[in-house]
């Protein structure tokens, strides 16, 4: 374990918290079973494009047409666990893994939260992390047309549309019945699909596993294309729809948002970079163009000179300072990809978060509050805006480390140690909650997100990836001749990926 440039007063607290937060992987609710991977002489579906068929069934007297994908039956449930195996070889098979969002929110592998917690699995159990990503990659391409009532709005919708990342892998019948969450329609959330693309690229870059990349590439394409419906004005930037359509599921967003918009910019860059690695140059060109246009709009609408506004709307909290506004940038730095913004803006936004969201709350001894008005008052628009989220605080600290702001990073993270783990704190040891308020009221004990402290360790001792990330200035010179026939199919992608890996992606002539 290598820890770089920790200040002496922080080393003990950091190491103490880093290792102790791992309690969640065994005490928070974990299932690890055999996957039942087919023998090597059986037909492998790892590199085959998904086989999609239409099936009809009768639901409550109404004929329903649904999509069946590979091992999914008429309800799009798995007909056998073998059909969603993590790998086709015994050497790669680590079984099937589930862990709860928390002991109060009983859903398996909640994906918007796994976005934060996954650094622990990637650092310590990378094959388990890849197996989870494979589960979600398969799920992207399936549809479950059964009707569900969403509690917040009182409307009805289908459980899982094709192209949408499921919120979770289920509750009562995991893998077979996804999306146990039914407060909002998560198929309209703006952060889930970008988070899938970002995690897939990060994991690919960290492991160099090209078989994983080619297996999940069709799902990456589907996840990106699904998001087109949320670009309402054709400026290549997605908009939020005036309800809490994100992991902050009580915090309403209007128009372009710093959080979801930033994740989308990062996903555009990650998808374009991954496309180049797997040889899909037409896709890379398309999404590189989207990134350039979307980034200009994002900065014009949200940058106010010192940080990115919460959203582009006109509500009372549209100019709030959101602690998590650079989540997309965090993943770019963690994946070895170019920064989304120039370094001056990144450091300015992080310093603003440190000065306001961290230091104006009990002198920095509680972590980073989610929302803060520019006048220095906590944003009390809703429950979540005024909460301090433990996992988000660690993520902000990790982003600071990537930006070279070590002192601010460790001070920020120390607030979680002080409030949650120290003898002077609230006594949450080995049951770290999702968050707490400035007066010490907690919500959701024993929660997944605080595993994001391993994002700090990732920043401190980031492994040397075998991949050379395509740089934006180089990507700008890549053009695809529209009159040149483009070979498609996973076999071609695999061929190009192997060639590019051996010969450098920018000198490859395959």
Distance CA 253, CA 272 (A): 27
Per mean pLDDT, which range of 58-72, 338-352, 389-403 is the poorest?
A: 58-72
- For the chain, give the percent of residues with pLDDT over 70: 78
Instruction: Output the pLDDT for position 466.
Output: 57
Has residue 393 got a pLDDT over 80?
yes
Has residue 88 got a pLDDT over 50?
no
Has residue 239 got a pLDDT over 70?
yes
Count of alpha carbons within 13 angstroms of residue 120, beta-carbon side: 24
Query: Would you tell me the crossing angle of helices 192-207 and 111-124 to the nearest 10 degrees?
Result: 10
- Distances 122 to 30, 117, 131 between C-alpha atoms, Å: 16, 9, 11
Instruction: Output the pLDDT for position 12.
Output: 85
The sign of the dihedral angle between the CA atoms of 77, 83, 84, 85 is positive
Instruction: Output the pLDDT for position 250.
Output: 97
Strand spans (E) along 302-437: 321-322, 371-372, 388-389, 435-436
Closest by CA to 164, choosing from 225, 96, 253, 242, is: 225
Helix, strand, coil tally for the chain in percent (to 5):
45, 10, 45
Output 466 or 69, whichever has higher pLDDT: 466
Closest by CA to 287, choosing from 271, 263, 298, is: 271
Output 442 or 56, whichever has higher pLDDT: 442
Task: Kindly report the number of other CB atoms within 10 A of residue 281's CB atom.
Answer: 18
* Helix, strand, or coil (residue 243): coil
**Sorting pLDDT into bands at 50, 70 and 90, what band is 70?**
very low
Query: In the 8-state DSSP scheme, what is residue 102?
Result: B
Average pLDDT in the 393-406 region? 98
**Sorting pLDDT into bands at 50, 70 and 90, what band is 488?**
very low
Instruction: Output the pLDDT for position 503.
Output: 35
Average pLDDT in the 30-51 region? 53
Closest by CA to 258, choosing from 199, 192, 191, is: 191
Has residue 89 got a pLDDT over 60?
no
Domain ranges for the chain, please list them.
Answer: 8-23+43-176+190-503
Q: Please state which CATH number belongs to domain 8-23+43-176+190-503.
A: 1.50.10.10
Has residue 83 got a pLDDT over 70?
no
Per mean pLDDT, which range of 19-33, 90-104, 445-459, 484-498 is the poorest?
A: 484-498
Per mean pLDDT, which range of 54-68, 138-152, 170-184 is the poorest?
A: 54-68
Has residue 163 got a pLDDT over 60?
yes
Has residue 43 got a pLDDT over 60?
no
Has residue 237 got a pLDDT over 50?
yes
Please check whether residue 163 is in contact with residue 225, taking contact to mean a CB–CB distance below 8 angstroms. Answer: yes
Instruction: Output the pLDDT for position 8.
Output: 53
User: Which residues contact residue 187 at a Cβ distance below 8 angstroms, ignoring those fewer than 6 apart?
Assistant: 157, 158, 160, 161, 164
Closest by CA to 80, choosing from 38, 43, 115, is: 38
Has residue 478 got a pLDDT over 80?
no
User: Which residues contact residue 86 at a Cβ distance below 8 angstroms, ignoring those fewer than 6 apart?
Assistant: 35, 37, 92, 93, 94, 95, 96, 127, 130, 131, 134, 135
Average pLDDT in the 144-158 region? 95
The sign of the dihedral angle between the CA atoms of 11, 14, 15, 16 is positive
Closest by CA to 366, choosing from 330, 343, 335, 392, is: 392
> Residue 481 — φ and ψ, nearest 5°?
-70, 115
pLDDT tens digits, residue range 254-301? Answer: 999 999 999 999 999 999 999 999 999 999 999 999 999 999 999 999
Has residue 385 got a pLDDT over 60?
yes
- On the 0-12 / 13-18 / 19+ scale of CB atoms within 10 A, 447 is buried
Instruction: Output the pLDDT for position 9.
Output: 59
pLDDT tens digits, residue range 293-335? Answer: 999 999 999 999 999 999 999 999 999 999 999 999 999 999 9
Distance CA 64, CA 173 (A): 22
Has residue 42 got a pLDDT over 80?
no
Please check whether residue 19 is in contact with residue 12, taking contact to mean a CB–CB distance below 8 angstroms. Answer: no
- On the 0-12 / 13-18 / 19+ scale of CB atoms within 10 A, 33 is exposed
pTM for the full predicted model: 0.84
What is the pLDDT of the chain when averaged over all its residues? 84
Strand spans (E) along 408-454: 435-436, 442-443
Please check whether residue 391 is in contact with residue 324, taking contact to mean a CB–CB distance below 8 angstroms. Answer: no
Distance CA 212, CA 210 (A): 5
């Amino acid at each position: 374990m290598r820890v770089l440039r920790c200040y002496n007063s922080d080393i003990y607290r950091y190491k103490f918290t880093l290792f102790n937060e791992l309690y969640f992987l065994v005490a928070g609710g974990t299932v690890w079973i055999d996957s039942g991977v087919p023998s090597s002489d059986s037909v492998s579906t790892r590199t085959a494009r998904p086989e999609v068929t239409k099936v009809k069934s009768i639901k409550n007297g109404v004929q329903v047409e649904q999509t069946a994908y590979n091992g999914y039956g008429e309800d799009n449930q798995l007909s056998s666990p073998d059909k969603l195996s993590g790998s086709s070889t015994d050497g790669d098979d680590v079984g099937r893994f589930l862990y709860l969002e928390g002991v109060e929110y009983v859903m398996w592998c909640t994906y918007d939260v796994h976005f934060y917690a996954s650094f622990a699995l990637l650092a310590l159990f990378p094959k388990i992390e890849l197996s989870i990503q494979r589960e979600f990659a398969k799920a992207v391409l399936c549809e479950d047309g059964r009707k569900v009532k969403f509690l917040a709005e009182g409307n009805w919708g289908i459980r899982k549309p094709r192209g949408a990342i499921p919120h979770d892998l289920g509750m009562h019948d995991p893998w077979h019945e996804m999306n146990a969450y039914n407060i909002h329609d998560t198929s309209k959330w703006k952060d889930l699909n970008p988070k899938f693309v970002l995690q897939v690229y990060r994991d690919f870059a960290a492991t160099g596993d090209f078989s994983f990349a080619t297996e999940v590439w069709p799902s990456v394409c589907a996840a990106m294309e699904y998001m087109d419906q949320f670009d309402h004005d054709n400026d290549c930037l997605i908009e939020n729809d005036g309800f809490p359509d994100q992991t902050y599921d009580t915090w309403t967003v209007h128009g372009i948002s710093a959080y979801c918009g930033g994740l989308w910019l990062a996903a555009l860059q990650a998808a374009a970079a991954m496309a180049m690695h797997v040889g899909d140059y037409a896709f890379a060109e398309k999404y590189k163009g989207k990134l350039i246009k979307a980034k200009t709009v994002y900065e014009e609408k949200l940058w106010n000179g010192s940080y990115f506004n919460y959203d582009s709307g006109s509500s009372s909290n549209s100019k709030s300072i959101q602690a998590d506004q650079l989540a997309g940038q965090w993943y770019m730095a963690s994946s070895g990809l170019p920064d989304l913004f120039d370094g001056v803006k990144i450091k300015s936004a992080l310093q603003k978060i440190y000065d306001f969201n961290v230091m104006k709350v009990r002198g920095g001894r509680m972590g980073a509050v989610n929302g803060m008005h520019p006048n220095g008052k906590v944003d009390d628009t809703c429950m979540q805006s005024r909460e301090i989220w433990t996992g988000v605080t660690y993520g902000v600290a990790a982003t600071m480390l990537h930006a070279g702001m070590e002192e601010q990073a460790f001070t920020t993270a120390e607030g979680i140690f002080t409030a949650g783990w120290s003898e002077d704190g609230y006594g949450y040891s080995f049951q770290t909650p999702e968050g707490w308020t400035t007066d010490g009221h907690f919500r959701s004990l024993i929660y997944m997100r605080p595993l994001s402290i391993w994002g700090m360790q990732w920043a401190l001792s980031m492994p040397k990836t075998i991949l050379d990330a395509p740089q934006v200035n180089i990507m700008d010179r890549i053009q695809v001749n529209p009159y040149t026939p483009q070979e498609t199919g996973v076999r071609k992608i695999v061929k190009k990926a192997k060639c590019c890996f051996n010969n450098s992606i920018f000198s490859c002539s395959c």
